[in-house]
Amino acid sequence: MDKQLEIVRKTRLSILNILTEFSLEKLNKIPTGFNNNIIWNLGHMVATQYKICYLKAGLDDMIDDDFYKRYESGSKPEGPADEREYELIKSLFITSLDKLASDHKAKIFDNYPTWTTRYGVDIGNIDEALAFLPFHEGLHNGYIMAMRKVV
């Protein structure tokens, strides 16, 4: 578990470092051929972490429901994110991992049910969910890297 979270944390810190050179306007731009933007992808990674680790386990106190709905799978940006929203996402990008590590050590995920991802991967416990998380993060990191070249 520690290694998966370390991989996610280092990747997220790298993404945040790369994005320091971009204006809020560029982070909100939806490039031609895409249906979302860089900020949405960042928020989506947090929302998906919440979904596969907390919601699937029947726990729902990690993030605000409105935040989750803005960035869940199938959503699209409803308008540009302001500076406050972007700062919230950047904060959650790291603090959500801290909370996840703490909650895992506290063994709050004991009632985790089995479910199947859209990729056909069966997830049967929190450790398997944590093993899947870097895969999902990698997909969206790829989208961000592609978008940053065209915004």
pTM here is 0.94
**103 falls within a domain:** yes
pLDDT score recorded for residue 62? 77
Per mean pLDDT, which range of 61-65, 90-94, 99-103, 119-123 is the poorest?
61-65
| Contact assessment for residue 36 and residue 77, using Cβ atoms and an 8 Å cutoff | yes
Lookup result for tokens 């990191």: 141
> What number is the average pLDDT over the span 15-24?
96
pLDDT score recorded for residue 37? 98
122 strand-pairing partners:
116
* Mean pLDDT, the chain, integer: 95
pLDDT score recorded for residue 4? 87
**105 falls within a domain:** yes
State how many domains the chain has.
1
Is the pLDDT confidence value at 61 over 80? no
Domain that holds residue 61: 2-30+44-73+81-148
In the chain, what are the helix, strand and coil shares in percent, each to the nearest 5? 65, 5, 35
Looking at residue 12, what DSSP letter applies? Answer: H
> What number is the average pLDDT over the span 96-108?
95
Q: Annotate 57-75 with b (16+ C-beta within 10 A) or e (fewer).
A: beeeebbeeebbebbeeee
